[in-house]
Amino acid sequence: MTAFWRVAGDGVLVAVKVQPKSRRPGLQGRAPAPEGERLRLGVTEAAEGGRANRAACTLLARALAVPPSSVAVTAGAASREKVLRVTGDPAAIATRLAAL
């Protein structure tokens, strides 16, 4: 992966590490991982019933200025380390991700 994201078809795949029930919600920088770097996201919701996943998708959508419906979990739904797919113009999304 180029940093924590890569272009894939009609969007971008973003590797994230989600911290549920975080005292500091929001973007928390980058985290090293054995597979490569990940974007750290803190959410206040608990990891029950998919609430933390939905909150992570909403948080990333706001940070990238895209509709929340364009962000979805594609891998790691039951894990803290996930891959989120952001659909839309890959060049525009990549530019916004590089600025994070």
Mean local confidence (pLDDT), 20-41: 91
Confidence of residue 1 (pLDDT cuts 50, 70, 90): very low
* Dist CA 28 CA 71 (whole Å): 19
Cβ distance 54 to 82 under 8 Å?
Answer: no
Q: Give percent above pLDDT 90 in the chain.
A: 83
* Average pLDDT value for the chain: 92
Mean local confidence (pLDDT), 90-99: 90
Which domains are assigned to the chain?
A: 5-99 (3.30.1200.10)
Find tokens 């500091």 and name the residue. Answer: 24
Show the tokens assigned to 76: 């790691």
* Dist CA 35 CA 4 (whole Å): 10
What's the pTM value of the predicted model, to 2 decimals? 0.91
